[in-house]
Structure formats: C-alpha cells, structure tokens
Amino acid sequence: MSAKATADRTLRGRVAIVGIGETDYYRHGASPDPEFKLALKAILAACSDAGIDPRDIDGFASYSEERSEPSRLASALGTRRLRAATMQWGGGGGGCCAAVANAAASIVAGLADCVVVFRSLAQGQFGRFGQTTGIDTISGEKAYLMPYGVLAPPQRFAMRVRRYMHEHGVSQEALRAIALASYHHAQANPRAVMYGKPLDAAKYDASRWIAEPFHLYDCCMENDGAAALVLVPAERAKEFCNKPAYLLGAAVGSGYRAGAIPHNSPHYASAGFETVAADLYAMAGLGPSDVNVVQCYENFTGGVVMALAEHGFFAPEDANDYLAFDNLVAPSGRLPLNTSGGNLAECYMHGFELVLEAVRQVRGTSTSQARRNDVGMVIGGPMVTPVSNLLLGSEATL
Amino acid sequence: MSRGADETYLPQGLPIPVAEADGLSAPYWQGLRQNRLLVQRCRSCGAWQFGPEWICHRCHALDPDWTKIEPHGQIFSWERVWHPSHAALRQHGPYLAVLVEIPHAGGVRMIGNLLGDPAQEVSIGAAVEGVFEHHLHPERPYSLLHWRLPSAR
C-alpha cells in the first residue's frame, strides 16, 4: 500500500531558508528575559537577517511542548494574518527537524507562504530537564523507571547506549571524540556558551560520571535562549538578501514499536533512524557519501554514534576507527560534525541551534566552515520517538 | 523473596508509582504488592506484552489477559548512576539500575535495581532473580521489583 514518493509528493527543492536568528545563549536559569520575550527576539533577528517585515509571517512551527504559542506570537507581532500553526508531537529534540518539515509541508501544500520555525527555552522560569522535583506520585512509563532512580534523561538513555556498545564493541574513546569535536568547534564560536572553555582528552577522562557510560562531557548542557528561522517557497528565495539554503529532504518517525515502554522496543540498541534515514535519502535522491557536513543532536554522545551509523556513515563495528577527532573537525575532516559546538558546547536550544548552523554551513558563514559545504545534514533527537532529520543544500544541488 | 521497608535499596522520597487514572497498569502494581509478577499475554494469539496496553500489538484482540510469571531473567543492559537527579538521592552515592529480559515471557523487559554492592562489576547476560520490595507508605503503600545475582543470596 505504500505509495512511492512521486515527483509531486516531495519537499525537495520546494522551500528555502532565507533568514536565521537567535538570542544570546545563557546557562540554564541565567536569561534576563522571560521565555516568550526570548522567542520574540529570535524571530525578529531571523526576520532582520532575511530582510523581511515580521508582519508578513503567516505561519509558525515548533516542537517539544513549546510554550510560546502561535496565536500569542501573531498578536504580539501584529502579523497580518495567521495561516499555519503546526506543532510536532514528542519530547526532547526529536522534532527539531520535523518542525521544519511541517513548515515546509504547509508551504508546499499552499497553506502558508512565510513560516517561522523556532524554539524558545527559559529553564529558570519553567524548571530544568535534569532535575526531578515536585512529583509525589507517578504513573505511565515513568512509574516503571523513577522509583528505581531512573529519573532524568542521562539515566533514561545510558542503558540503551551501554547495550549498543556491548553489541558492537564501541569504545569510550569513540564517545569522547564526539565531545572533543563539539568543544573544539565551540572555541571558534563566540555565541557558544563554552567559548573560551576548551576540553581535552585528559579533562574528559578525569570528569565525573553522571551515569556510566556517560561522563559529564557526554551530556548536553541545559540552557536558556531562543532560535528561529524563516522559510519561504523556493521561487521566492532570491528576493531576500542571503544565499538561500534549500531543503533537499526531510523525514520524521520511528521504526516498529519504537515507543514500546518501558525500554521494550524490539530494536532497543538503536537511535531510531532505521526507517527515517532511508526516507530522507530517498526524498533527497542522495546517499551518505554526498553529505559534506553533519549537525547531529547530542543529548548524549552515545546517541550520536548510533545515529551516524544508522545514516550509513560507517558500520557500527567501524565506529571506533571512524569516530576519531581528526575525522570530525572542520575544515577538512572526513565528516565535520557539530561545527558550532552543538548541544554540548554551543547551546542546548533543543537542537534548533543545529538547524541554524546547517544553514550557515551552506551559506559559507560558519565559524568552523567545512571545506565542502554544498550538502549539510541535521539529525534530531536520537533515541527518542519520533525522531527527524533533514538535508539542506545550496542552489548547485537542486 | 521479598523484603520490607526498613531495608529499601534507594532512600525514601522518590516518586511513588500508581496506576493511571484509567487503571491500565493497576493489576501489575497490585500483583507486586502480593509478591506476584504479572505481565500481559493475549488469550487469542499468545503474544506477550509489557508494558501493558489495551490491545494486543500482534492480533489486535482487546484487553489482553494478565498472566503470572516467575520473576527471573537475565541482564540485558545496566547503568551505574552517580549524579543525583532528585533531592532524595543527594548524599546517597552510586546505585545500579538494570534492564532485565525475561526469556520465558516472550523476552519482555523491565527495569529494577541490582541489589548488592553498587561498585560490583555487572555482566550483560548474567542470570538474575527477582526480589519484591515493599514500601509501607502510610497513605500509598506500593511495591517494587528488584533483581540480584543468584550467588548473592
């Protein structure tokens, strides 16, 4: 019954990102602004970058229980009208690319013409992800976990990564290389929260365990801030001042019973991209060897190992060889990874900072520019469900 | 095997498990209080299922039966937790959580703590047996299912 995606049923080449913007990025709880104001600031910055009047926005898209909702944004900004308002289900950063896909689908389907995709977070205002407080009783999935001290995300994912390392012989050094690459790139990026705070192998090795096999530096930060982008139909892309980044493909979802709780998904040792990676490459008409630079959501380094393998960059058994620092850094590593510093060292903006960085790579304006930059990938939220991904390209790739 | 509230593996104060408002998991939690491990098994096709759902994922028969199984299995994965993510765990030190697979119930998995020395080496594939732990909370008594190596008996 599955219909092959025809030329008509694709996002390839149909929309372009013409503006990106973000607020200053802060440690969690350190934002001087409330969350909604952060969202507004990022949206204004993205519109300014595009050279567009914010009143011309006619759609908003977000994910992960975003609280800055579209009707309030449209009223606050005085947009002339609101047409698309899409929210991707699922927590964590699994929707950071899906939100872009939903916005793109709105545009391609004729439901909207100028959609802002964004994420805003002020954890001082609304509480942290990494601490469990104020819960007396619990039911559903977490009831099978929390009474046993499996409370926060590191504890929820450590066992999955441990199993993957066991099945495929992945070493701690492979996880370490991912952390070192993110921190290395953050040292060139003045936006990064960890700018001026370098990491080396000895410091990683000496860092405390959070939940084995995760050291402190295997875990993402928690931050305040907001990030946004402006998406328009491809035929309008050249009306704006920046080099457009075209959407070459996007995919969302998960495999068979990936959501079976608690920890009962049949393919447990997985980041969840088996089907989603295949869908992405099919839409884009590309394969892993065509991808020049990757931004991969690091909730935890181990999820990056799995996600990159599932996107075909290496076989799991080759992870220890492939995931060496020199292979992962711009400008000329084999696969420059997380070139802004990512969730580990730029800002944990729930992965949306990764989408913005992918745009910068295609534009050629990253602070750690990859030598080859026509095709950039973003991978959202490994190990949750649903996950999502996207490919961006320059005009030459259309 | 069961043990009482005077010797719980983790300190008191962590979230207390209760069934959902619709009662989906109520038989499971009630079973633990009686030293019985219940998981779902479809009466139509025999498929095992845990966590519970209102439908059999294989044949779509509604309301799968609850079936008592022997609480033993093998370690499928594990973690040693150092960072306290809850006020009740500050000052507590590391602890072990394991994911246990139960081959005689279709390979369903469940999470518990691995009793014994928290610094012990843990081996994936090791056989473990269940230990019911009863919490005599005045308003909301509840029970958990932990695991231990047979040699630790």
Which segments in chain A show pLDDT lower than 50? 1
Which segments in chain B show pLDDT lower than 50? none
Rounded CA-CA distance A148/A30 in Å is 31
- Are B51 and A257 in contact (CB < 8 Å)? no
Q: What is the pLDDT of residue A7?
A: 66
Q: What is the pLDDT of residue A92?
A: 87
- The residues spanned by each domain of chain B are 2-152
* Chain B residues touching A210 at Cβ < 8 A: 81-83
Of A140, A209, A262, the CB nearest to B111: A262
Q: What are the C-alpha distances in Å from A112 to residues A19, A61, A84, A220, A271?
A: 17, 11, 6, 34, 33
Q: What is the pLDDT of residue A317?
A: 97
- Scanning B1-153, the segments in alpha helix (DSSP H) are 26-33
Residue A61 neighbours by CB under 8 Å, 6+ apart: A84, A85, A86, A87, A88, A99, A100, A102, A103, A106, A115, A116, A117, A118
- Are B77 and A132 in contact (CB < 8 Å)? no
Residue A353 neighbours by CB under 8 Å, 6+ apart: A22, A25, A227, A340, A342, A343, A346, A347
A348 is catalytic: yes
B47 touches chain A (CB under 8 A): no
Q: What is the pLDDT of residue A1?
A: 43
State whether residue A245 is helix, strand or coil: strand
User: Within 10 A of A92 (CB to CB), how many other CB atoms are there?
Assistant: 24
Domains of chain A: 15-124+220-397 (3.40.47.10)
Q: What is the pLDDT of residue A132?
A: 72
A167 touches chain B (CB under 8 A): no
Of A143, A163, A213, the CB nearest to B18: A143
Rounded CA-CA distance A384/A88 in Å is 13
- Are A147 and B18 in contact (CB < 8 Å)? no
Closest CA to A96 of A129, A124, A61: A61
Query: Which pairing describes strands A59-63 and A84-88: parallel, antiparallel, or unpaired?
Result: parallel
Tokens 């030329």, located at residue = A7
Q: What is the pLDDT of residue B153?
A: 62
A159 touches chain B (CB under 8 A): yes
Axis crossing angle, helix A35-50 with helix A70-77, rounded to the nearest 10: 60
**pLDDT tens profile A52-109:** 999 999 999 999 999 999 999 999 999 999 999 999 999 889 999 999 999 999 999 9
ipTM comes to: 0.97
* Chain A residues touching B80 at Cβ < 8 A: 209, 211-212
Tokens 């300014």, located at residue = A48
Cβ(B133)–Cβ(B2) below 8 Å: yes
DSSP B59: T
Q: What is the pLDDT of residue A27?
A: 94
DSSP A329: S
Rounded CA-CA distance A21/A55 in Å is 16
Closest CA to A148 of B147, B91, B126, B102: B147
Question: Is B117 exposed, middle or buried (CB count within 10 Å of its CB: 0-12, 13-18, 19+)?
Answer: exposed
**pLDDT tens profile B103-130:** 999 999 999 999 999 999 999 999 999 9
- Are B15 and A257 in contact (CB < 8 Å)? no
Rounded CA-CA distance A378/A354 in Å is 7
